[in-house]
A and B are shown apart, each in its own frame.
Chain A
Protein backbone atom coordinates (compact mmCIF):
# COMPACT_ATOMS: atom_id res chain seq x y z
CA UNK A 1 0.00 0.00 0.00
CA UNK A 2 1.32 3.45 -0.90
CA UNK A 3 0.51 5.71 2.04
CA UNK A 4 0.68 9.50 2.12
CA UNK A 5 0.78 11.13 5.56
CA UNK A 6 -0.21 14.81 5.71
CA UNK A 7 1.46 16.80 8.45
CA UNK A 8 1.58 20.40 9.62
CA UNK A 9 4.06 22.41 11.65
CA UNK A 10 2.15 24.31 14.31
CA UNK A 11 2.90 26.46 17.37
CA UNK A 12 3.46 24.36 20.51
CA UNK A 13 0.25 24.17 22.52
CA UNK A 14 1.68 25.98 25.54
CA UNK A 15 2.89 28.94 23.47
CA UNK A 16 1.59 32.39 24.31
CA UNK A 17 -0.03 33.87 21.22
CA UNK A 18 0.64 37.50 20.34
CA UNK A 19 -1.00 39.26 17.43
CA UNK A 20 1.34 40.80 14.84
CA UNK A 21 1.19 44.47 13.82
CA UNK A 22 -0.89 43.66 10.70
CA UNK A 23 -3.73 42.48 12.97
CA UNK A 24 -4.12 39.38 10.79
CA UNK A 25 -1.36 37.02 11.86
CA UNK A 26 0.55 35.94 14.93
CA UNK A 27 3.87 37.41 15.98
CA UNK A 28 6.30 34.57 15.20
CA UNK A 29 9.09 35.82 17.51
CA UNK A 30 9.32 33.67 20.61
CA UNK A 31 6.94 31.00 19.31
CA UNK A 32 8.25 27.44 19.35
CA UNK A 33 6.87 25.18 16.66
CA UNK A 34 6.34 21.44 16.60
CA UNK A 35 4.75 18.63 14.63
CA UNK A 36 0.97 18.77 15.10
CA UNK A 37 0.27 16.19 17.83
CA UNK A 38 -2.54 14.43 15.91
CA UNK A 39 -0.27 14.00 12.89
CA UNK A 40 2.00 11.85 15.06
CA UNK A 41 -0.87 9.35 15.33
CA UNK A 42 -1.26 9.45 11.53
CA UNK A 43 2.43 8.76 10.95
CA UNK A 44 2.47 5.97 13.53
CA UNK A 45 -0.56 4.33 11.93
CA UNK A 46 1.05 4.51 8.49
CA UNK A 47 4.21 2.80 9.78
CA UNK A 48 2.14 0.09 11.47
CA UNK A 49 0.12 -0.60 8.32
CA UNK A 50 3.31 -0.89 6.31
CA UNK A 51 4.72 -3.26 8.93
CA UNK A 52 1.52 -5.31 8.97
CA UNK A 53 1.50 -5.72 5.20
CA UNK A 54 5.26 -6.16 4.94
CA UNK A 55 5.36 -3.90 1.90
CA UNK A 56 4.48 -0.45 0.67
CA UNK A 57 5.72 3.11 1.05
CA UNK A 58 5.14 5.92 3.53
CA UNK A 59 5.52 9.42 2.10
CA UNK A 60 5.03 12.46 4.31
CA UNK A 61 3.88 15.73 2.80
CA UNK A 62 3.25 19.21 4.10
CA UNK A 63 2.33 22.57 2.68
CA UNK A 64 4.20 25.11 4.73
CA UNK A 65 7.27 27.24 5.18
CA UNK A 66 10.86 26.04 4.61
CA UNK A 67 11.15 25.71 8.38
CA UNK A 68 8.97 22.59 8.19
CA UNK A 69 12.08 20.72 6.99
CA UNK A 70 12.78 20.09 10.66
CA UNK A 71 9.45 18.32 11.29
CA UNK A 72 9.77 16.38 8.02
CA UNK A 73 13.27 15.17 8.99
CA UNK A 74 11.79 13.98 12.27
CA UNK A 75 9.16 11.93 10.43
CA UNK A 76 11.90 10.36 8.29
CA UNK A 77 13.84 9.53 11.45
CA UNK A 78 10.76 7.81 12.87
CA UNK A 79 10.53 5.61 9.80
CA UNK A 80 8.88 7.38 6.85
CA UNK A 81 10.51 6.61 3.50
CA UNK A 82 10.28 9.98 1.85
CA UNK A 83 9.23 13.54 2.63
CA UNK A 84 7.90 16.30 0.40
CA UNK A 85 7.75 19.99 1.32
CA UNK A 86 5.41 22.08 -0.80
CA UNK A 87 6.57 25.55 0.12
CA UNK A 88 4.59 28.73 0.68
CA UNK A 89 5.27 31.89 2.67
CA UNK A 90 1.63 32.20 3.71
CA UNK A 91 0.07 30.79 6.84
CA UNK A 92 -2.18 28.03 5.47
CA UNK A 93 -5.45 28.36 7.33
CA UNK A 94 -7.88 28.03 4.41
CA UNK A 95 -8.93 24.37 4.26
CA UNK A 96 -10.41 24.61 0.78
CA UNK A 97 -7.32 25.91 -0.99
CA UNK A 98 -4.99 23.67 1.04
CA UNK A 99 -7.09 20.63 0.19
CA UNK A 100 -7.17 21.58 -3.49
CA UNK A 101 -3.37 21.89 -3.61
CA UNK A 102 -2.82 18.64 -1.70
CA UNK A 103 -5.36 16.81 -3.88
CA UNK A 104 -3.54 17.92 -7.03
CA UNK A 105 -0.23 16.72 -5.60
CA UNK A 106 -1.63 13.39 -4.37
CA UNK A 107 -3.04 12.68 -7.83
CA UNK A 108 0.52 12.96 -9.18
CA UNK A 109 1.97 10.23 -6.94
CA UNK A 110 1.15 6.58 -6.26
CA UNK A 111 -1.28 6.65 -3.35
CA UNK A 112 -4.11 4.48 -2.10
CA UNK A 113 -4.29 5.68 1.50
CA UNK A 114 -4.01 9.16 2.97
CA UNK A 115 -3.59 9.51 6.73
CA UNK A 116 -4.09 12.85 8.47
CA UNK A 117 -4.48 14.18 11.99
CA UNK A 118 -8.01 15.03 13.02
CA UNK A 119 -7.19 18.70 13.47
CA UNK A 120 -4.29 21.10 13.10
CA UNK A 121 -4.05 22.93 16.40
CA UNK A 122 -3.28 26.33 14.84
CA UNK A 123 -6.38 27.08 12.77
CA UNK A 124 -8.27 24.31 14.61
CA UNK A 125 -10.17 23.56 11.40
CA UNK A 126 -10.87 19.84 11.54
CA UNK A 127 -11.87 19.91 7.90
CA UNK A 128 -8.97 19.16 5.60
CA UNK A 129 -9.22 15.35 5.51
CA UNK A 130 -12.93 15.29 4.55
CA UNK A 131 -12.43 18.16 2.10
CA UNK A 132 -9.48 16.34 0.51
CA UNK A 133 -11.36 13.05 0.26
CA UNK A 134 -14.26 14.65 -1.59
CA UNK A 135 -11.84 16.21 -4.09
CA UNK A 136 -10.05 12.88 -4.63
CA UNK A 137 -13.23 10.83 -4.73
CA UNK A 138 -11.76 8.65 -1.95
CA UNK A 139 -13.68 7.02 0.88
CA UNK A 140 -13.18 8.86 4.15
CA UNK A 141 -13.54 8.29 7.88
CA UNK A 142 -12.66 11.12 10.24
CA UNK A 143 -11.59 11.24 13.90
CA UNK A 144 -10.76 7.55 14.02
CA UNK A 145 -9.83 6.19 17.46
CA UNK A 146 -9.44 2.54 16.44
CA UNK A 147 -8.50 1.09 13.05
CA UNK A 148 -8.14 -2.42 11.71
CA UNK A 149 -7.20 -3.62 8.26
CA UNK A 150 -8.16 -7.13 7.15
CA UNK A 151 -8.58 -8.52 3.63
CA UNK A 152 -8.31 -5.06 2.11
CA UNK A 153 -11.12 -3.60 4.22
CA UNK A 154 -10.67 -0.99 6.95
CA UNK A 155 -12.87 -1.14 10.02
CA UNK A 156 -12.71 2.16 11.86
CA UNK A 157 -14.27 3.34 15.09
CA UNK A 158 -15.06 6.96 15.85
CA UNK A 159 -16.77 8.69 18.73
CA UNK A 160 -19.94 10.57 17.97
CA UNK A 161 -22.18 12.34 20.48
CA UNK A 162 -23.14 9.71 23.03
CA UNK A 163 -22.08 6.75 20.91
CA UNK A 164 -19.33 5.07 18.92
CA UNK A 165 -19.69 4.53 15.18
CA UNK A 166 -18.15 1.52 13.47
CA UNK A 167 -17.45 2.36 9.83
CA UNK A 168 -16.02 0.23 7.06
CA UNK A 169 -14.37 1.32 3.83
CA UNK A 170 -11.93 0.14 1.23
CA UNK A 171 -9.02 1.89 -0.42
CA UNK A 172 -8.53 4.42 -1.83
CA UNK A 173 -9.32 6.23 1.42
CA UNK A 174 -8.55 9.21 3.60
CA UNK A 175 -8.52 8.55 7.34
CA UNK A 176 -8.04 11.19 10.04
CA UNK A 177 -6.60 10.13 13.36
CA UNK A 178 -7.83 10.89 16.87
CA UNK A 179 -6.00 10.53 20.15
CA UNK A 180 -6.19 6.97 21.48
CA UNK A 181 -5.55 5.35 18.07
CA UNK A 182 -1.99 4.38 18.95
CA UNK A 183 1.11 5.34 20.94
CA UNK A 184 3.48 7.10 18.54
CA UNK A 185 7.10 5.99 18.46
CA UNK A 186 9.91 8.49 18.67
CA UNK A 187 13.05 8.66 16.61
CA UNK A 188 16.09 6.76 17.88
CA UNK A 189 19.69 7.46 16.97
CA UNK A 190 19.71 4.85 14.22
CA UNK A 191 16.61 6.41 12.72
CA UNK A 192 18.10 9.88 12.89
CA UNK A 193 21.23 8.69 11.06
CA UNK A 194 19.17 6.84 8.45
CA UNK A 195 16.99 9.90 7.89
CA UNK A 196 19.97 11.87 6.62
CA UNK A 197 20.10 9.64 3.57
CA UNK A 198 16.38 9.63 2.88
CA UNK A 199 14.89 11.93 0.21
CA UNK A 200 13.36 15.26 1.27
CA UNK A 201 12.05 16.93 -1.86
CA UNK A 202 10.96 20.52 -2.15
CA UNK A 203 8.74 22.30 -4.64
CA UNK A 204 6.64 25.43 -4.57
CA UNK A 205 3.04 24.75 -3.52
CA UNK A 206 0.52 25.67 -6.18
CA UNK A 207 -2.27 27.02 -4.00
CA UNK A 208 -5.37 28.18 -5.84
CA UNK A 209 -6.99 31.54 -5.10
CA UNK A 210 -7.99 31.57 -1.44
CA UNK A 211 -11.57 30.72 -0.55
CA UNK A 212 -11.36 32.75 2.65
CA UNK A 213 -9.71 36.01 3.58
CA UNK A 214 -8.68 36.96 7.10
CA UNK A 215 -10.33 40.17 8.21
CA UNK A 216 -8.74 40.18 11.63
CA UNK A 217 -7.04 38.08 14.24
CA UNK A 218 -7.66 39.28 17.77
CA UNK A 219 -7.13 38.08 21.27
CA UNK A 220 -10.36 36.68 22.68
CA UNK A 221 -12.41 39.22 24.60
CA UNK A 222 -11.19 39.04 28.16
CA UNK A 223 -13.86 37.55 30.36
CA UNK A 224 -15.14 40.19 32.75
CA UNK A 225 -13.35 39.91 36.07
CA UNK A 226 -15.01 37.12 37.99
CA UNK A 227 -16.26 37.35 41.51
CA UNK A 228 -14.98 35.20 44.32
CA UNK A 229 -18.20 34.80 46.26
CA UNK A 230 -16.60 33.57 49.42
CA UNK A 231 -14.96 30.68 51.15
CA UNK A 232 -16.33 27.26 51.92
CA UNK A 233 -19.92 26.09 52.28
CA UNK A 234 -21.09 29.49 53.48
CA UNK A 235 -20.68 30.85 49.95
CA UNK A 236 -23.12 28.38 48.40
CA UNK A 237 -26.26 30.53 48.89
CA UNK A 238 -24.49 33.49 47.24
CA UNK A 239 -23.58 31.24 44.29
CA UNK A 240 -27.15 30.00 43.92
CA UNK A 241 -28.44 33.59 44.01
CA UNK A 242 -25.91 34.71 41.40
CA UNK A 243 -26.73 31.80 39.08
CA UNK A 244 -30.46 32.34 39.42
CA UNK A 245 -30.80 36.12 39.49
CA UNK A 246 -27.73 37.46 37.69
CA UNK A 247 -26.62 34.79 35.22
CA UNK A 248 -30.17 33.43 34.91
CA UNK A 249 -28.96 29.88 34.26
CA UNK A 250 -31.06 28.12 36.88
Chain B
Protein backbone atom coordinates (compact mmCIF):
# COMPACT_ATOMS: atom_id res chain seq x y z
CA UNK B 1 0.00 0.00 0.00
CA UNK B 2 1.41 3.28 -1.13
CA UNK B 3 -0.09 6.54 0.03
CA UNK B 4 0.03 9.70 -2.05
CA UNK B 5 0.46 13.22 -0.68
CA UNK B 6 -0.97 16.07 -2.75
CA UNK B 7 0.35 19.49 -1.77
CA UNK B 8 -2.39 22.08 -2.14
CA UNK B 9 -1.47 25.68 -2.84
CA UNK B 10 -3.21 28.31 -0.74
CA UNK B 11 -2.52 31.99 -1.19
CA UNK B 12 -4.21 34.58 0.95
CA UNK B 13 -6.53 31.93 2.37
CA UNK B 14 -7.72 30.93 -1.10
CA UNK B 15 -7.24 27.45 -2.49
CA UNK B 16 -5.67 27.65 -5.95
CA UNK B 17 -8.04 25.99 -8.41
CA UNK B 18 -5.15 24.19 -10.09
CA UNK B 19 -4.54 22.27 -6.84
CA UNK B 20 -7.63 20.25 -7.67
CA UNK B 21 -5.85 19.05 -10.81
CA UNK B 22 -3.16 17.58 -8.57
CA UNK B 23 -5.92 15.88 -6.55
CA UNK B 24 -7.14 14.20 -9.75
CA UNK B 25 -3.64 12.95 -10.55
CA UNK B 26 -3.24 11.78 -6.94
CA UNK B 27 -6.48 9.82 -7.05
CA UNK B 28 -5.39 8.20 -10.34
CA UNK B 29 -2.10 7.11 -8.79
CA UNK B 30 -3.73 5.94 -5.57
CA UNK B 31 -6.03 3.66 -7.53
CA UNK B 32 -3.00 1.94 -9.03
CA UNK B 33 -0.87 1.96 -5.87
CA UNK B 34 -3.71 0.87 -3.61
CA UNK B 35 -3.07 3.73 -1.21
CA UNK B 36 -4.87 6.75 0.11
CA UNK B 37 -4.59 10.40 -0.90
CA UNK B 38 -3.67 12.92 1.78
CA UNK B 39 -3.93 16.60 0.86
CA UNK B 40 -1.51 18.86 2.73
CA UNK B 41 -1.87 22.65 2.79
CA UNK B 42 0.34 25.25 4.47
CA UNK B 43 -0.75 28.75 5.41
CA UNK B 44 -2.60 30.82 7.97
CA UNK B 45 -6.38 30.70 8.30
CA UNK B 46 -6.84 27.55 6.26
CA UNK B 47 -10.35 26.50 7.39
CA UNK B 48 -12.16 27.42 4.17
CA UNK B 49 -9.48 25.97 1.92
CA UNK B 50 -9.31 22.77 3.99
CA UNK B 51 -13.09 22.38 3.84
CA UNK B 52 -12.96 22.72 0.08
CA UNK B 53 -10.19 20.12 -0.15
CA UNK B 54 -12.15 17.78 2.12
CA UNK B 55 -14.87 17.70 -0.54
CA UNK B 56 -12.52 17.02 -3.44
CA UNK B 57 -12.37 13.25 -3.08
CA UNK B 58 -9.17 12.96 -1.03
CA UNK B 59 -9.14 10.64 1.98
CA UNK B 60 -7.69 13.08 4.45
CA UNK B 61 -6.69 16.74 4.71
CA UNK B 62 -3.84 18.05 6.84
CA UNK B 63 -3.74 21.82 7.36
CA UNK B 64 -0.45 23.14 8.69
CA UNK B 65 -1.92 26.36 9.94
CA UNK B 66 -0.34 29.20 11.90
CA UNK B 67 0.63 32.87 11.74
CA UNK B 68 4.27 32.17 10.82
CA UNK B 69 2.94 30.54 7.63
CA UNK B 70 0.83 33.52 6.53
CA UNK B 71 3.33 34.18 3.73
CA UNK B 72 5.17 31.60 1.70
CA UNK B 73 8.59 30.52 2.96
CA UNK B 74 10.14 27.80 0.81
CA UNK B 75 12.41 26.36 3.47
CA UNK B 76 9.84 26.36 6.27
CA UNK B 77 6.98 25.00 4.13
CA UNK B 78 9.31 22.29 2.82
CA UNK B 79 10.23 21.16 6.34
CA UNK B 80 6.59 21.06 7.40
CA UNK B 81 5.53 19.10 4.33
CA UNK B 82 8.42 16.65 4.59
CA UNK B 83 7.21 15.85 8.12
CA UNK B 84 3.68 15.24 6.83
CA UNK B 85 4.94 13.03 3.99
CA UNK B 86 6.74 10.90 6.58
CA UNK B 87 3.73 10.84 8.88
CA UNK B 88 1.51 9.74 5.98
CA UNK B 89 4.02 7.05 4.95
CA UNK B 90 3.61 8.40 1.43
CA UNK B 91 5.70 7.14 -1.46
CA UNK B 92 4.58 9.79 -3.94
CA UNK B 93 4.12 13.55 -3.60
CA UNK B 94 2.38 15.70 -6.20
CA UNK B 95 1.97 19.43 -6.66
CA UNK B 96 1.17 21.69 -9.59
CA UNK B 97 4.08 23.25 -11.51
CA UNK B 98 3.36 26.79 -10.34
CA UNK B 99 5.85 29.36 -9.07
CA UNK B 100 5.30 27.82 -5.63
CA UNK B 101 5.29 24.21 -6.80
CA UNK B 102 8.58 24.37 -8.63
CA UNK B 103 10.19 26.19 -5.71
CA UNK B 104 8.80 23.89 -3.04
CA UNK B 105 8.68 20.31 -4.27
CA UNK B 106 12.40 19.98 -5.15
CA UNK B 107 13.16 20.99 -1.54
CA UNK B 108 10.72 18.45 -0.12
CA UNK B 109 12.27 15.73 -2.26
CA UNK B 110 15.77 16.73 -1.17
CA UNK B 111 14.87 16.65 2.53
CA UNK B 112 13.49 13.13 2.03
CA UNK B 113 16.27 11.96 -0.34
CA UNK B 114 13.65 11.11 -2.93
CA UNK B 115 13.37 11.53 -6.68
CA UNK B 116 11.85 14.53 -8.41
CA UNK B 117 10.48 15.16 -11.90
CA UNK B 118 9.11 18.56 -12.85
CA UNK B 119 6.62 19.91 -15.36
CA UNK B 120 5.13 16.48 -16.05
CA UNK B 121 2.16 15.87 -18.31
CA UNK B 122 1.48 12.28 -17.22
CA UNK B 123 2.11 10.18 -14.11
CA UNK B 124 1.96 6.43 -13.77
CA UNK B 125 2.28 3.64 -11.24
CA UNK B 126 3.09 0.24 -12.63
CA UNK B 127 3.76 -2.73 -10.38
CA UNK B 128 4.64 -0.38 -7.57
CA UNK B 129 7.03 1.73 -9.67
CA UNK B 130 6.12 5.37 -10.16
CA UNK B 131 6.87 7.06 -13.43
CA UNK B 132 6.27 10.26 -15.34
CA UNK B 133 6.39 11.74 -18.79
CA UNK B 134 7.61 15.27 -19.41
CA UNK B 135 8.59 17.52 -22.31
CA UNK B 136 12.34 18.18 -22.62
CA UNK B 137 14.49 20.24 -25.02
CA UNK B 138 11.80 22.94 -25.12
CA UNK B 139 9.14 20.46 -26.10
CA UNK B 140 11.17 19.05 -28.97
CA UNK B 141 11.24 15.65 -27.22
CA UNK B 142 9.34 13.80 -24.54
CA UNK B 143 11.12 11.93 -21.76
CA UNK B 144 9.62 9.04 -19.85
CA UNK B 145 11.27 8.23 -16.51
CA UNK B 146 10.86 5.76 -13.69
CA UNK B 147 11.60 6.61 -10.09
CA UNK B 148 14.42 4.69 -8.42
CA UNK B 149 14.14 6.46 -5.08
CA UNK B 150 11.15 7.13 -2.86
CA UNK B 151 9.32 9.33 -2.37
CA UNK B 152 8.63 10.01 -6.01
CA UNK B 153 7.90 13.75 -6.28
CA UNK B 154 6.37 15.34 -9.36
CA UNK B 155 5.15 18.79 -10.34
CA UNK B 156 2.30 18.70 -12.85
CA UNK B 157 1.97 21.07 -15.81
CA UNK B 158 -1.25 23.07 -15.26
CA UNK B 159 -4.28 22.24 -17.39
CA UNK B 160 -3.22 18.63 -18.03
CA UNK B 161 -5.53 16.98 -15.52
CA UNK B 162 -9.19 17.75 -15.00
CA UNK B 163 -9.91 19.50 -11.70
CA UNK B 164 -11.34 17.07 -9.11
CA UNK B 165 -15.02 17.65 -8.41
CA UNK B 166 -15.67 15.25 -5.56
CA UNK B 167 -18.50 15.36 -3.09
CA UNK B 168 -16.55 13.71 -0.31
CA UNK B 169 -16.18 14.66 3.31
CA UNK B 170 -12.66 13.79 4.33
CA UNK B 171 -11.41 14.23 7.87
CA UNK B 172 -9.48 17.49 8.36
CA UNK B 173 -6.68 17.59 10.87
CA UNK B 174 -5.03 20.82 11.85
CA UNK B 175 -1.49 21.16 13.08
CA UNK B 176 0.79 24.06 13.94
CA UNK B 177 3.83 24.92 11.80
CA UNK B 178 7.02 23.36 13.14
CA UNK B 179 9.26 25.66 15.15
CA UNK B 180 12.46 26.99 13.62
CA UNK B 181 13.79 29.99 11.74
CA UNK B 182 12.51 30.99 8.35
CA UNK B 183 15.55 31.41 6.10
CA UNK B 184 13.64 33.32 3.45
CA UNK B 185 10.61 35.48 4.02
CA UNK B 186 8.10 36.91 1.57
CA UNK B 187 7.85 40.58 2.56
CA UNK B 188 5.29 41.67 0.04
CA UNK B 189 3.11 40.35 -2.76
CA UNK B 190 2.43 43.01 -5.39
CA UNK B 191 -0.47 42.19 -7.70
CA UNK B 192 0.76 42.66 -11.25
CA UNK B 193 -2.15 41.49 -13.33
CA UNK B 194 -4.77 43.93 -12.07
CA UNK B 195 -7.11 41.08 -11.18
CA UNK B 196 -6.76 39.47 -14.60
CA UNK B 197 -6.54 35.71 -14.99
CA UNK B 198 -2.93 34.49 -14.67
CA UNK B 199 -1.64 33.23 -18.00
CA UNK B 200 -0.88 29.66 -16.91
CA UNK B 201 -4.27 29.17 -15.31
CA UNK B 202 -6.37 30.61 -18.12
CA UNK B 203 -8.66 28.23 -19.99
CA UNK B 204 -8.10 30.30 -23.12
CA UNK B 205 -4.89 32.08 -24.08
CA UNK B 206 -5.04 34.61 -26.92
CA UNK B 207 -1.54 35.58 -28.03
CA UNK B 208 -0.52 38.32 -30.40
CA UNK B 209 2.66 38.64 -32.43
CA UNK B 210 4.51 41.03 -34.65
CA UNK B 211 1.76 40.66 -37.25
CA UNK B 212 -0.26 43.12 -35.16
CA UNK B 213 2.18 45.84 -36.30
CA UNK B 214 2.07 48.05 -33.19
CA UNK B 215 1.36 48.01 -29.45
CA UNK B 216 -1.98 49.80 -29.72
CA UNK B 217 -3.36 47.03 -31.94
CA UNK B 218 -3.24 44.62 -29.00
CA UNK B 219 -6.67 46.07 -28.29
CA UNK B 220 -7.86 43.42 -30.77
CA UNK B 221 -6.38 40.70 -28.56
CA UNK B 222 -7.71 42.27 -25.37
CA UNK B 223 -11.21 42.52 -26.82
CA UNK B 224 -11.18 38.86 -27.81
CA UNK B 225 -9.98 37.94 -24.30
CA UNK B 226 -12.78 40.00 -22.79
CA UNK B 227 -15.36 38.34 -25.06
CA UNK B 228 -14.80 35.00 -23.30
CA UNK B 229 -16.14 36.55 -20.09
CA UNK B 230 -14.47 37.20 -16.75
CA UNK B 231 -11.83 34.80 -15.45
CA UNK B 232 -11.62 32.67 -18.60
CA UNK B 233 -9.02 34.04 -20.97
CA UNK B 234 -5.65 35.79 -20.77
CA UNK B 235 -3.41 37.76 -23.13
CA UNK B 236 -0.17 36.18 -24.31
CA UNK B 237 2.56 37.52 -26.54
CA UNK B 238 5.43 36.39 -28.73
CA UNK B 239 8.94 37.39 -27.84
CA UNK B 240 9.15 39.70 -30.82
CA UNK B 241 6.49 41.97 -29.32
CA UNK B 242 7.90 41.70 -25.79
CA UNK B 243 11.35 42.67 -27.06
CA UNK B 244 9.74 45.57 -28.91
CA UNK B 245 8.32 46.75 -25.58
CA UNK B 246 4.67 46.37 -26.66
CA UNK B 247 3.86 43.91 -23.90
CA UNK B 248 5.40 43.00 -20.51
CA UNK B 249 7.67 39.95 -20.27
CA UNK B 250 5.25 38.21 -17.95
CA UNK B 251 2.94 37.74 -20.94
CA UNK B 252 5.59 36.10 -23.11
CA UNK B 253 4.81 32.56 -24.19
CA UNK B 254 7.66 30.30 -25.20
CA UNK B 255 10.98 28.87 -24.28
CA UNK B 256 12.19 32.02 -22.55
CA UNK B 257 8.71 32.96 -21.39
CA UNK B 258 5.89 30.94 -19.93
CA UNK B 259 4.76 27.48 -20.82
CA UNK B 260 1.00 27.31 -21.13
CA UNK B 261 -1.21 24.35 -21.78
CA UNK B 262 -4.78 25.68 -21.99
CA UNK B 263 -7.75 23.92 -23.57
CA UNK B 264 -7.73 26.65 -26.23
CA UNK B 265 -4.78 28.67 -27.60
CA UNK B 266 -5.31 31.32 -30.27
CA UNK B 267 -2.21 32.67 -32.05
CA UNK B 268 -2.74 35.91 -33.95
CA UNK B 269 -0.02 37.24 -36.26
CA UNK B 270 2.54 34.83 -34.82
CA UNK B 271 4.80 32.95 -37.21
CA UNK B 272 5.28 29.90 -34.98
CA UNK B 273 9.05 29.87 -34.37
CA UNK B 274 10.29 26.77 -32.56
CA UNK B 275 10.91 28.79 -29.37
CA UNK B 276 7.32 30.00 -29.38
CA UNK B 277 5.98 26.48 -29.95
CA UNK B 278 7.94 25.36 -26.88
CA UNK B 279 5.55 27.39 -24.79
CA UNK B 280 2.22 26.28 -26.23
CA UNK B 281 2.40 23.07 -28.20
CA UNK B 282 0.73 21.02 -25.45
CA UNK B 283 -2.38 23.22 -25.60
CA UNK B 284 -5.36 20.99 -26.33
CA UNK B 285 -6.72 22.98 -29.28
CA UNK B 286 -4.63 25.49 -31.22
CA UNK B 287 -6.07 28.12 -33.55
CA UNK B 288 -3.89 30.23 -35.83
CA UNK B 289 -4.76 33.39 -37.68
CA UNK B 290 -2.02 34.48 -40.04
CA UNK B 291 -1.91 36.10 -43.44
CA UNK B 292 0.86 33.81 -44.62
CA UNK B 293 -0.52 30.36 -45.54
CA UNK B 294 3.00 28.91 -45.20
CA UNK B 295 3.62 30.19 -41.66
CA UNK B 296 4.96 27.32 -39.49
CA UNK B 297 2.23 27.96 -36.90
CA UNK B 298 -0.23 26.24 -39.24
CA UNK B 299 1.75 22.98 -38.84
CA UNK B 300 0.77 22.75 -35.17
CA UNK B 301 -2.61 24.49 -35.36
CA UNK B 302 -5.75 22.37 -35.27
CA UNK B 303 -7.66 25.10 -37.05
CA UNK B 304 -6.36 27.94 -39.13
CA UNK B 305 -7.68 30.95 -40.93
CA UNK B 306 -5.48 32.55 -43.55
CA UNK B 307 -5.94 36.26 -43.79
CA UNK B 308 -5.68 39.68 -42.23
CA UNK B 309 -6.00 39.65 -38.46
CA UNK B 310 -7.43 43.17 -38.50
CA UNK B 311 -10.51 41.88 -40.33
CA UNK B 312 -10.81 38.38 -38.88
CA UNK B 313 -10.29 39.02 -35.17
CA UNK B 314 -13.12 41.57 -34.70
CA UNK B 315 -15.54 39.15 -36.42
CA UNK B 316 -14.34 36.30 -34.20
CA UNK B 317 -14.68 38.48 -31.10
CA UNK B 318 -18.25 39.33 -32.02
CA UNK B 319 -19.15 35.67 -32.63
CA UNK B 320 -17.58 34.53 -29.33
CA UNK B 321 -19.30 37.33 -27.40
CA UNK B 322 -22.65 36.21 -28.80
CA UNK B 323 -22.07 32.61 -27.76
CA UNK B 324 -20.94 33.63 -24.27
CA UNK B 325 -23.93 35.96 -23.88
CA UNK B 326 -26.25 33.14 -24.99
CA UNK B 327 -25.07 30.78 -22.26
Residue positions of A touching B, CB distance < 8 A: 11, 13-14, 16-17, 19, 26, 37, 93-96, 99, 121-135, 138-143, 155, 158-170, 173, 179-180, 209-221, 223-224, 226-233, 235-237, 239-240, 242-244, 247, 249-250
Given contacts A124-B138, A233-B312, contact A228 B115 (CB under 8 A): no
Chain B residue at smallest Cβ distance from A212: B145
B107 touches A140 (CB 8 A): yes
Max count, chain A CB within 10 A of own CB: residue among B103, B108, B192, B286? B103
The reply to whether A249 and B285 form a contact with Cβ atoms under 8 Å apart is yes
Contacting B302 at CB < 8 Å: which of A155, A159, A247?
Answer: A247
Contacts of A211 in B (CB 8 A): 114-116, 147-149
**A125, B118: Cβ atoms closer than 8 Å:** yes
Nearest-neighbor residue (CB-CB) of B196 within chain A: A162
| B143–A139 CB distance below 8 A | no
With A96-B109, A163-B189, A219-B142 as known contacts, state yes or no: A26 contacts B103, CB within 8 Å.
no
Q: Is the CB of B302 within 8 A of A226?
A: yes
Task: Tell which of B110, B199, B249, B288 touches A96, judged by Cβ atoms closer than 8 Å.
Answer: B110
Q: How far is the CA of A16 from the CA of B140 in the complex (A)?
A: 8
**Chain B positions near chain A (C-beta within 8 angstroms):** 16, 72, 74-75, 78, 98-100, 102-111, 113-119, 131, 134-149, 183-193, 196-201, 204, 249-250, 255-256, 263-264, 274-275, 281, 284-288, 293, 298-308, 311-312, 315-316, 319-320, 323
Q: Which of B78, B131, B287 has the most chain A CB atoms inside 10 A of its CB?
A: B287
B136 touches A124 (CB 8 A): yes
B183 near A224 with CB under 8 A, answer no
B137 and A130 contacting across the interface, CB-CB below 8 Å: no
B264–A249 CB distance below 8 A = yes
Do A240 and B198 contact each other (CB < 8 Å), given the known contacts A139-B183, A212-B147, A220-B139? Answer: no
Among A99, A126, A127, A173: residue with most chain B CB under 10 A: A127
Bound-state CA distance A154–B119 (Å) is 28
Bound state CA distance, A132 and B106, in angstroms? Answer: 9
Cβ distance B217 to chain A, nearest Cβ, rounded Å: 17
Q: Are B106 and A95 in contact (CB under 8 A)?
A: yes
Instruction: Supply 18 further A-B pairs (C-beta < 8 A) apart from A229-B303, A229-B304.
Output: A11-B137, A95-B118, A122-B137, A130-B103, A133-B74, A133-B75, A161-B99, A163-B193, A165-B186, A165-B188, A167-B184, A168-B184, A179-B249, A223-B286, A226-B301, A236-B316, A240-B320, A240-B323
